[in-house]
Structure 1
Amino acid sequence: MTTTTLEKAPLEKTPPAEALKGVPGLTRPSQPAHIIKDDAEAIAVAEALARDVIGTASQRDQNRDLPVAELNAFSQSGLWSINVPKAFGGPEVSYATLTRVVQILSAADPSLAQISQNHLGVVAAIRTVSDEAQQCLLFGEVLKGVRFGNAFSEFGSKRAVDFETRFTDAGDHVIVTGRKFYSTGALLAHRVPIVALDDQGRAWYAIADRDAPGLTVINDWSGFGQRTTASGTVILDQVKVPKTHLVPGYKGYETPTADGAIFQIIQVSVDIGIAEAAIKDTIEFVRTRTRPWVDSGLDRASDDPYTIQAIGGLTLRLHAAEALQEKAGLAVDAAVAAPSAESVAKAQIAVAEAKVLSTEIAIEATNKLFELAGTRSTLAEHNFDRHWRNARVHTLHDPVRWKYAILGNYALNGVNPPLHAWS
């Protein structure tokens, strides 16, 4: 799919969230997804898609309209298979490019960008832990346009890594029972990877069909930010999953691999995209609508030296976050190519640095918007509060105070970060 093709293909009207309640699943795409050929095309396609979705993103946020048509265009564009290895027919772009793609989409609609996060992470995990036959099968599905959602986290567990969902062996398949929450993308997925424990307490990805009997996705996400990710509840009542789709995810954390860093770096990209959008809206509003302060003696708010300084600081920190994101992406590439305790730790540390700065600039930029743009910017017609709401909710994924601790312990005591999906 070329950039021109994306621009000429208008999106269908997005049905409201209510219209999807009770729907057992979504049909598979009628045509195979496009396959991106290289890093440059991935960026170009992302930019074209962003232009298509940005105009209605605020309305979707206000109405909680799920991005159904937008998501179909996103996954069919080929951007959901960009980390499939070349050996299996994928483009295998650099993770520096992948994160740039997610940032571009996040600046247009961060909910849409976040929906892809777990899919891309699971694709990376399949590369790490699956045997060749399973890789061939699952990568083949992804290249055709199949979307993975997720059913990872659980609402009532003591810690995020404590899972009660389990599966039992039933011959050529397993049977999964449990309940999940924060299941981003599951409602709109074709397949739902479920984190479930075996009888030894090891965590697997049981990749269930979205329409499998006993699998229910409830559209009950009520968070005040990232409102259209449909990150609600998944109920698993004796769900059958063929062993061909049972992925030994635990192997990605038994020895050093880049899996955790990959899950984390995509979070970075979502936050940088939110910050980018907020700064852009701040600049445009100050230039065109904000009145200069009464004591300034100026005709234009954009000539206010304090505002100029503040915009300079925000822009600087945004660019610094982008630079750390690119550096982290290259470190992830190195860890994927040659995983070792050293290369993986370097990737984790680079991602942690980017995570700290991306969180801080997202919160700062979305808050500073109102201070610099003034009271007019708080009017509901602008819906600028969506930037702050999205940043505040998404950056809660994992606490930055622990990232600082990881960075300090590595620098001071040579202690490598722990191996899990939050590190």
Structure 2
Amino acid sequence: MSLSDAHTLEPNTVSAESPAAIAARLAARFAETAAARDLAGGTPKAERDLLRASGLLKLSIPREYGGLGASWAETLSVVRQLARADSSVAHVFAFHHLQLASVRLFGSPEQWQAWLRDTATRGWFWGNALNPLDKRTVATRVDGGREFSGRKSFCSGALDSDMLLASAVEDSAEGKLIIAALPTRRAGITLLGDWDNMGQRQTDSGSALFERVAVAEDEILSRPGPLSSPHACLRPLLAQLIFVNIFLGIAEGALAEARHYTRNEARLWSASPAAHVSEDPYVLAHYGEFWVALESTRALADRAAARFDAAWDTGLALSTEGRGEVALAVATAKVAATRGGLDLTSRIFEVTGARSTTAALRLDRFWRNLRVHTLHDPVDYKVRELGDWALNGRYPKPSFYS
């Protein structure tokens, strides 16, 4: 497969630090500039390069291919840790690992083993141009493969990436979905840098343009192919589990900043019977409710991650029912993380007060980030799927979103 047009960046050797310790150090650094970068938008180039140099881009890659061999629960824990400080950087980092999982689930061993080795040794950062709902990119059959032409939206992490997972609809009566792994610098690929949303402002989730992009047969993930088995259908569940951990990390980060502000900056209301705002009964009640929401979501998220790891390790022997049980656990955690997170990130101002709304703090970024991200796919449909299970005993039907 032709990879000569991919970028090469030698990552530094992995230190003796644990991935969690590395993530904590990076998160602390990202937090220092998160508010300013939220205002600026654009590509978090310096932060992406720190991730490259940290060795964490190889976190989910098995050790036999040069990676750190982390479980998905461990990888998602790092995603959550980064999201507490900067959910945009956490998003592109998590999507990097989602693309690596996708080539393992959809491609042949000959394909994904080479890509994983090169990612580990060359420090590749993977971006996303998959979005199966956007069917404007067409794959035309040519000698030796396909040509991709058209636009693609919601290409998170594509800018400053080295490899892309891209999809197109085959120019045929069947309209089959074609997914390929391509070097980002391949001729004909233009990343438009047109992402300017109210939240997740540094995910570069804008558009890509494909103009007769050459795609070789051995770059197409056709064996076993997308959603071809219960095991391959774990890909959308990993994507949903990534969302759960980003949502939860955002809420945890919001609570940490609110707590610091309440204890150090907030002023007691004149009618309060307390001597200090940290003893006010209504403030304490809010924090108690925040704690209950976070603790329950953490338990659901960790349970879902454990079930996902067990299903992943089962491999091709995974049954439809086994995949269905993971889908239920992930959907339950997704609903809890969405509802609890939106409530917490909007209500933190009840415990920080009017002065905390100053633009310099940008405490609203937690709600804005979560609100944008939670609209990725409607949570109402997750609730409906869970209702169908609770009432009729039917597992969620596999798709790219369930």
Q: Is structure 2 residue 127 aligned with structure 1 residue 149? A: yes
Of 281, 284, 291, 2:260 maps to 284
2:136 is aligned with 1:167 = no
Separation of aligned partners in 1, 2:176 and 2:311 = 24
C-alpha deviations, 1:258-313, integer Å up to 9, x for none?
11111110011111111011111111111111111111133311111111111011
Q: Which amino acid in the other structure matches residue 140 of structure 2?
A: T
* Aligned residues between the structures: 390
* Cα separation, 2, equivalents of 1:89 and 1:36: 14
Cα distance in 2 for residues equivalent to 1:36 and 1:195: 36
Counterpart residue number, 2:338: 359
> What residue number does 2:62 align with?
85
Query: Which digits, 9 at most, give the CA deviation of each residue in 1:50-69, with x for residues without a partner?
Result: 12211011111111142101
Counterpart pick for 1:197 among 142, 166, 169: 169
Unaligned runs of 5+ in 1: 1-24, 154-159
Moved more, 88-97 or 349-358: 88-97
Pick one of 188, 191, 208 that aligns with 2:160.
188
Question: Of the candidates 174, 192, 197, which is equivalent to residue 223 of structure 1?
Answer: 197
Is the contact made by 2:266 and 2:352 (CA closer than 8 Å) also made in structure 1? yes
Q: Answer yes or no: is 1:411 the counterpart of 2:390.
A: yes
Name the SS for the 2:130 alignment partner.
coil
Q: Which of 313, 319, 330 in structure 1 is aligned with 2:295?
A: 319
CA distance in 1, matches of 2:355, 2:33: 21
Counterpart amino acid of 1:275? A
For 1:219 and 1:162, how far apart are their aligned partners in 2? Answer: 18
Please tell me whether residue 119 in structure 1 is matched to residue 96 in structure 2. yes
Aligned to 1:296: 272
Instruction: Choose the corresponding residue for 2:304, options 314, 324, 328.
Output: 328
Q: Secondary structure at the match of 2:127?
A: coil
CA distance in 1, matches of 2:344, 2:224: 37
Partner of 1:341: 320
Q: Report which stretch shifted further, 66-75 or 83-92.
A: 83-92
How far is the alpha carbon of 1:27 from its aligned partner?
4.7
SS at match of 1:248: coil
* Letter of the structure 2 residue corresponding to residue 208 of structure 1: L
Check conservation: 1:203, 1:250, Cα contact below 8 A. Answer: no
Conservation of the 8 A alpha-carbon contact between 1:26 and 1:189:
no
Q: How many Å apart are 1:85 and its aligned residue? A: 3.1
Q: Deviations over 1:180-231 (max 9, x none)?
A: 1111111111122111123442223222222222111111112100111111
Letter aligned with residue 161 of structure 1: L
The 8 Å contact of residues 110 and 270 in structure 1, kept in 2 or not, is answered as yes
Give the fraction of aligned pairs with identical amino acids, expressed as a percent.
32
Which secondary structure state, in structure 1, belongs to the residue aligned with residue 150 of structure 2?
strand
Bigger CA drift: 92-101 or 182-191?
92-101
Say which of 131, 137, 151 aligns to 1:179: 151
- Normalising by structure 1, report the TM-score: 0.87
SS of match in other structure, 1:310: helix
TM-score normalised to structure 2 length:
0.91
- Preserved contact between residue 84 and residue 139 of structure 1 (Cα < 8 Å): yes
Indicate whether 1:259 and 2:235 are aligned. yes
- Residues 1:236 and 2:203 are matched in the alignment: no
Hey, what's the Cα distance between the residues in 1 that align with 2:228 and 2:293? Answer: 36
Read off the aligned partner of 1:28 and give its amino acid letter: T
Q: C-alpha displacement at 1:362, in angstroms? A: 1.6
Change (3 A) 1:393 1:165: same
User: CA distance change for structure 1 residues 283 and 69 in 2, over 3 Å: closer, same or farther?
Assistant: same
- RMSD over aligned Cα, in angstroms? 2.0
CA–CA distance in structure 2, aligned partners of residues 324 and 63 of structure 1: 34
CA apart distance, 1:250: 7.8
One-letter code of the match for 1:124? A
Once residues 264 and 164 of structure 2 are traced to their aligned partners in structure 1, the CA distance between those partners, rounded to angstroms, is 46
Q: Residues 389-400 of structure 1: matches in 2 within 5 Å?
A: 389-400=368-379
**Cα separation, 2, equivalents of 1:73 and 1:194:** 25
- Is the contact between residue 349 and residue 407 of structure 1 (CA under 8 Å) also seen in structure 2? yes
Moved over 6 A (4+): none
Equivalent residue letter for 2:8 = R
Query: Residues 43 and 159 of structure 2 are in contact (CA less than 8 Å); yes or no, is this contact kept in structure 1?
Result: no
* Aligned equivalents of 1:34, 1:266: Cα separation in 2: 27
Q: Give ranges in structure 2 of 5+ residues lacking alignment.
A: none
**Counterpart in 1 of 2:8?**
28
Distance in 2, matches of 1:422 and 1:34, equals: 36
